[in-house]
Every structure is written in structure tokens, then in C-alpha cells.
Amino acid sequence: MPHVLAKMSMQLLAKSNVDFLSIASRAQSNYWSNVPMGPPDAILGVAEAFRKDTSPKKVNLGVGAYRDDNNKPYVLPSVRQAEENIFKKCLNHEYAPIGGDPVYCDLIAKLGLGENSLAIKEKRNATVQSISGTGALRLGFEFIGKHYNHAREIWMPSPTWGNHPQICNTLGITHKKYRYYDPNTLKFNLKGCCEDICSMPPGAIILLHACAHNPTGIDPKPEEWQILSEIIKEKRLLPFFDMAYQGFATGSVDNDAFAVRLFEKHGHQIILAQSFAKNMGLYGERVGGLTFVCADQDTAAKMMSQLKIMIRTLYSNPSINGSRIVTEILSSPELKAQWLKDVKEMADRIILMRKKLREGIEKRGSKHKWDHITSQIGMFCYTGLKPEQVLRMTKEFHIYLTKDGRISVAGICSSNVEHVAEAMHKVTAS
């Protein structure tokens, strides 16, 4: 073989000044020839198609990121102020502790579980900083895969955020669906949900969207959460709350944490994934948290030790900038008050756009019912548009959304709401 290479190299060298060694070694083998081309991400693929569209009318309703009324990315005034405060402190860039800064962890646990949480008072919570909401879910699911000794299957609402089943698939964890959305009534299917809960094996994990369900925008009412909590307790299931939108549903972070706090009060040993991507607009900072509410302090300490071991081999320790911003806001009464106002403003703008969109479609004489646009909550609206109608929205009107008909109302503003209403009316008229 060395002889062949030598001969080849001489020939190649004689003909041109090409780097013969690299050609020869490439020809020898392709170590990755087994890797197939993967499909684009359903949501980020929409963003990509939007970017390529040159029409001035184009609207992106695919990605769940808040835009202001000029359709521009929004930096919350509370976040700007926090950044200025942090800059003035001239802090260093040392590593954060493996589980994140304990002050940060304490603040976010209280934001989720409430200031009066018994679990926090009794030090029964194991809370770590995570890489936003996705990282919290990934860490939580992985922890379940490694340490959970009961029915290791995760039941998810149907439909749910596409990344939930994908994370389970990556980890080889069984996931199943329970009924959540009723396409006939366009409402939460309490009866179907309860029937499915009754068929789950004891100890199974039930994934719940704490508020502003993605993609449907439909949450159980407080009295329905009560029922769910009771039967989940009776069936001895483990509730895993995904809270990616605290504040976005009602404009109040306390109202939106209702289910989480109710379950904790009822004695559930909940798991809680938190994200500050949406409610602080810290999308790219990737800051969030994962909390296990445990039976006792001793278990919480053991859980914490294992979480740290898991994090150490995943990403060693979390990033510091995002958590500093969150800490600055949550630890200052003035900044926190400003942030609560900012969250309310974002939620209110979305509610106003829902109203304008519905009015815009109805005033064009639509024969369909559009009350779900205003009855649903949070960032998303499950419009009911069929895949072929979604295609027309994009082809004829340059409006981008996911195939399931979900739109991010946060992408609608005063200058494009009539265009979106016109498009929705036209594609559903014929």
C-alpha cells in the first residue's frame, strides 16, 4: 500500500500541484457514508423558508418569539436595566457552580412554586439551572431514564410541542399520548383526558403544559386542574410540568403558575421545567431551570448530587450571563415590578392582536366561527387551517406557519393584521 501511494503521489505531483495526500486519504474511505440527510426542523424550517422570501408582504407566524408592534424583536425594559446594572458591577467570567448559582436557583424555584411553597420551606426541592426550557426537559427526561424505578414511560398531551417526543426518542424513553384537544369542540377534552389517565400504569410520568399550551393555546380551567390533580394522585402518577410561558397566558406569573402550585399543595412530587426565553425575552441566552420536588430533604440532597453528576458530563456547568440577568431582576423589588409590567404588556398586546385578527376575518363576511382565536390563550393560536390552506397562506400571501395550522400571534402587529385576516378569510372561503 505505501508503494501504491508513493507511485500515485509521484504521478499526481507530476501532473499538477494538487495536494495528493489529502486526495488519496479521502478516496480511501468516507467514515460518515452511513449518515442520511435529516429532515429540516418543522418550526425552524418555516423560519428558513421565510428568510428566503423576498416579498415585502411576508409575515412569519411560525416561530414562537415575541415581536413588538413594529414586528421587531423586543428587549424588555427590565432586562435592559438589569444588563446596565450588571455591566456596572464589572463582574468576572469564572465558571458557575455545576448546578448554577444557588441564589438564582432559589429565586426561580420561588417564582415557579410560589413564595409560600412548603417544599421550598422544607428544603425538599432539588433545583438546578438548565439550558433554557429544552435543556431542562432533556436533563429531566435523561434523569428519569437513568434513575426512575417505576413505570418509565412519559405520557404527553395530544397534540404537544414537537420536541417532547423527539427528546424521548433520542434517549430511548417510551412515550405515549393522552387525549387533550377535542377537534370537534375546539376545547380541552376533560373526559377523554381523565379516561386516558385512568388507563396509565401506576408510577407513569404525565407531562403537563403548566400554561399557554403549545400548540393549541387551550389550558384546563382551575376547576379542571383540581380534577386532574385528584385523579393523578389517585393513580399515583408523577406529574412533570413544562412551564415555558409563565406570564404569557394571563399576563400574571402567579395566575399562570396556578396548576404547578396547586399540585405541589396537594402533595405531588412534581418535576418542573422552566424557561426564561419567552417571559424575559432571553431566547438566545438559554437560561432556565429544572426542579424536582422530593419527599424529604435527604432525597432532595441525593437528587441534587446525581443531577450535578449528569450535568458535569453533559456541559460541565451552565452559562452565567442569562442567569445574572434573571437574578438581577428577581432579586430587586423595583426591577421585578418593572418585569411584571413588561410581561403584562406583552400578553396584552397578544390579546389585542387576537381580537383584531378575529374582527378582521369576521368583517370580511366569513361564514366560519372564529371565536377560538380570542378564547385561546398564550402565544399560539390553533387556527384550524388545513394543510392545503396553510400552503395557500404561504404561496399566495407570503404568510409562514406550521403545517398543523398553528400561528404565533406574537408575530402579528398593527401593520400586518389586516393582511393576515384577508389571507385567512380567502383560504377558508373556497
Active-site entry in 278, 339, 342, 370? 278
Residue in 50, 104, 141, 161 binding ligand PLP, rule: CB under 6 A: 161
Smallest distance from the beta carbon of 396 to ligand PLP, in angstroms? 28
Strand 59-60 and strand 399-400: the pairing is parallel
Q: What is the CA radius of gyration of the chain?
A: 25
All 3 cell numbers of residue 287?
A: 437560561
Residue type at position 319: S
Smallest distance from the beta carbon of 297 to ligand PLP, in angstroms? 29
Report the residue number, 225 or 248, with the smaller CB distance to ligand PLP.
248
Residue 278 bears catalytic tag: yes
Report the residue number, 119 or 410, with the smaller CB distance to ligand PLP.
410
Residue in 60, 132, 229, 291 binding ligand PLP, rule: CB under 6 A: 132
Smallest distance from the beta carbon of 64 to ligand PLP, in angstroms? 5
Q: How far apart are CA 225 and CA 406, in angstroms?
A: 24
The DSSP symbol for 268 reads -
Q: How many chain residues interact with ligand PLP (CB under 6 A)?
A: 12
Smallest distance from the beta carbon of 304 to ligand PLP, in angstroms? 22
Q: Dihedrals φ, ψ of 229, to 5°?
A: -60, -40
Residue type at position 137: L
Under 8 Å between Cβ of 354 and 346: no
User: What residues between 242 and 301 interact with ligand PLP by CB under 6 A?
Assistant: 242, 244, 275, 277, 288
Residue in 81, 125, 127, 134 binding ligand PLP, rule: CB under 6 A: 134
Active-site entry in 58, 155, 161, 196? 161
User: What residues between 19 and 48 interact with ligand PLP by CB under 6 A?
Assistant: none
Report the residue number, 289 or 360, with the smaller CB distance to ligand PLP.
289
Active-site entry in 242, 342, 356, 370? 242
Verify binding: residue 214, ligand PLP, rule CB under 6 A: yes
User: What residues between 367 and 426 interact with ligand PLP by CB under 6 A?
Assistant: none
Verify binding: residue 64, ligand PLP, rule CB under 6 A: yes
Residue 413: strand, helix, or coil: coil
Residue type at position 393: M
Residue 267: strand, helix, or coil: coil
Report the residue number, 135 or 251, with the smaller CB distance to ligand PLP.
135
Name 272's bridge partners: 241, 291
Nearest to 159 by CA among 194, 198, 186: 186
Residues 6+ positions from 353 with CB-CB distance below 8 Å:
409, 412, 413, 417
Smallest distance from the beta carbon of 406 to ligand PLP, in angstroms? 10
In this structure, what is the dihedral angle of CA atoms 110, 111, 113, 116, given to the nearest 10 degrees?
50
The DSSP symbol for 111 reads H
Verify binding: residue 338, ligand PLP, rule CB under 6 A: no
Residues belonging to the active site: 161, 242, 278
Which residue ranges make up the site for ligand PLP (CB under 6 A)? 64, 132-134, 161, 209, 214, 242, 244, 275, 277, 288
